[in-house]
Structure 1
Amino acid sequence: MSTDYQTAREALGARLRELRTEAGLEGKGLADRIGCQPSKVSRLQNGKQTPTATDLTAWARACDRPDVEAELQGLRAGLEMKQRHRSWRRQLAGGHRGRQEIAVRQTEATKTIRGLEVSRVPGLFQTPEYARVIFDSNAEFRGIAPTTEAAVEARMRRQEALYDPSKSFRFLLCEAALYHRSCPAEVMAEQLDRLYNLVGRHRVEVGVLPFGTQLRRTAPHAFWIYDRRLVIVETISEELWLTGDEDLQLYERAWDWLAESAEYGAPARRLIGRARACLDLS
């Protein structure tokens, strides 16, 4: 749980305690009024449990302060926003390994992953050397501990899911991802060879959006869809974890519209092969 989120939850808990005290109620007395166990009152006040909207309505009424319900619901809305926004500064404070372990667990819990990458090869398809360059570069950019080897190990372990017969993977890559190169040419060549061999593989669908193709909607940024429960959007400063039905439907529609214009199978291989042929390996 992020520090920002927990701090906000504790602040909401402190406000709940303040209201109870002002109403002259003990914890047990408030619990009796709202119909819960005193232990729940304690957890809510101490920021150990996130209150529901119903909890806050009941709390305000039990304290004879219906006028503060809007305030409490606003604090809860801000809490949810902090849960959605996960800053890279905090996530990567100890290096990349922790975030990669989260990715491993998310992949283990998912049957179908759909994704769009605009300028790089998806982590699930990366070679160790390509991943190593990505992690080293990001560590330098963010000024964090370069826990690269542990992060690469976790990323390679995550790729074991590609061999799980119960899972499927459907990815779209803008053709630019085949050319944008932050690594030596020989590393990129090896990476493109791996990608070439993944095209057409059972349960792994790789589509390439060619330069110049007509799109119903342009590709604004990379995103990953985990089943129909979570969308992760990556920006320079933070990740967005979106779970609302409207967000999920919007990103699914974006993925579907882009997929209509992608090349698959032999045409996708030709695009990958063309990018590899442009590399100067001399």
Structure 2
Amino acid sequence: MSTDYQGAREALGIRLREIRLSAPGGRLTGTQLAQKHGWDKSKVSRLENGRQTPTPDDLRMWAEACGQPETYDELLAKLRGFESHIRSWRRQLAAGHRPVQDAHNAAQANSTVLRAWESSWIVGILQTPDYARAVLTRSADLHKSPRDTEEAVRARMKRQELLYSGGRRYQIILWEPVLRALICPPAVLAVQLDRLTGIIGLDTVDLGIVPLSAPLKVPPGVGFWIYDDRQVVTETWHAELWLDDADSVATYLRAWKTLKESAVYGSDAHNLIHAARRALPSR
């Protein structure tokens, strides 16, 4: 977890403690507050010490129990402030995958130079519907989130209109293992690889592949997007990070440029894609 995020969570915890101790009817103990809502008494301690992220309902109940409901909007604003940087999958996917896709569509529509590195799967902007369906289904399984797969696939496909609308430049680098990862049936991956070969040469996309045999100056790490050198979006198993501080953006930009030094383009990229296609199992 990032230092900035943890610091913000601890600051929110300090504010929660202040509200508890300044309750108009007299300061509440942590045990008394927990009893008001049937919480485990350790929850109050975890929230106040920044060891647990509160939900909006937690904040509302806290403000009401302390006799200060007017502080709810302030607390919620603080929560939204740091959650705008680290967005847990649990919360993001509570309503399914479609809202997440819509957020990415808007972010990409508002950018002109989009750089990407991906070491795990084909990036969404280049996916076929069947490949996207496989990825989103597995994500729903992992996070036990509502299944709105078809709506999410349609939203992801709509994003691809940006490839042809002009005014943007996509600079995408994939690690070669992505071309061979069977996160979908072989027949689906075959069509997906064909789709990639058709992307090479498109005037809005620079598609590079880093061969598995290429020397790397930095480890592959996780995938990420950089929007107009002002914002980075990356993800972990538990959360998606949207970073806009200059130091973080500069670090990811250096990583992207370093990985680009190992990438091949044009016919060399074609050859890697074709080799992966030929290596697919027959069934």
Bin of the TM-score, shorter chain as denominator length: 0.7 to 0.9
1:129 matched residue in structure 2: 130
Q: Which amino acid aligns with 1:185?
A: P
Residues 214 and 157 from structure 1, CA distance in 2 versus in 1: closer, same or farther, beyond 3 angstroms?
same
1:47 aligned to which of 73, 78, 81: 73
1:37 matched residue in structure 2: none
Matched ranges for 1:60-71 at <5 A: none
In 2: Cα distance, 1:237 partner to 1:155 partner: 21
Shift of 1:12: 4.5
The DSSP-based 3-state class of the residue aligned with 1:236 is coil
Q: Structure 2: where are the runs of 5+ without partners?
A: 1-7, 25-69
2:190 matched residue in structure 1: 189
1:278 matched residue in structure 2: 279
| Pairwise CA RMSD | 2.9
In 1: Cα distance, 2:18 partner to 2:168 partner: 45
Q: Which amino acid aligns with 1:208?
A: I
Shift of 1:15: 4.9
The DSSP-based 3-state class of the residue aligned with 1:100 is helix
1:32 matched residue in structure 2: none
Contact 2:86–2:241 (CA under 8 A) maintained in structure 1: yes
Q: Which amino acid aligns with 1:280?
A: P
What TM-score do the two structures reach when normalised by structure 2? 0.74
Matched ranges for 1:179-258 at <5 A: 179-258=180-259
Q: Which amino acid aligns with 1:47?
A: D
Q: Which amino acid aligns with 1:241?
A: W
Q: Which amino acid aligns with 1:267?
A: D
C-alpha offsets along residues 59-114 of structure 1, whole Å, 9 cap, x if unaligned? xxxxxxxxxxxxxxxxx7x8754432110011001211110111111111111111
Shift of 1:13: 8.8
Matched ranges for 1:102-113 at <5 A: 102-113=103-114
What TM-score do the two structures reach when normalised by structure 1? 0.74
In 2: Cα distance, 1:163 partner to 1:18 partner: 58
1:95 matched residue in structure 2: 96
The DSSP-based 3-state class of the residue aligned with 1:202 is coil
C-alpha offsets along residues 106-131 of structure 1, whole Å, 9 cap, x if unaligned? 11111111111102100000000000
Contact 1:17–1:45 (CA under 8 A) maintained in structure 2: no
C-alpha offsets along residues 206-226 of structure 1, whole Å, 9 cap, x if unaligned? 110001211121211111111
Contact 2:120–2:222 (CA under 8 A) maintained in structure 1: no
Q: Structure 1: where are the runs of 5+ without partners?
A: 22-43, 52-75
Q: Which amino acid aligns with 1:86?
A: R
In 2: Cα distance, 1:96 partner to 1:152 partner: 9
1:167 matched residue in structure 2: 168
The DSSP-based 3-state class of the residue aligned with 1:92 is helix
Contact 1:110–1:226 (CA under 8 A) maintained in structure 2: yes
Count of aligned pairs: 232
C-alpha offsets along residues 195-237 of structure 1, whole Å, 9 cap, x if unaligned? 1111121020111000121112121111111112210111000
In 2: Cα distance, 1:153 partner to 1:48 partner: 37
Contact 1:14–1:45 (CA under 8 A) maintained in structure 2: no
Structure with higher Rg: it is 1
Residues 45 and 141 from structure 1, CA distance in 2 versus in 1: closer, same or farther, beyond 3 angstroms?
closer
Shift of 1:249: 0.5
In 2: Cα distance, 1:127 partner to 1:99 partner: 18
In 2: Cα distance, 1:138 partner to 1:255 partner: 25
Percent sequence identity over aligned pairs: 36
In 2: Cα distance, 1:256 partner to 1:212 partner: 18
2:152 matched residue in structure 1: 151
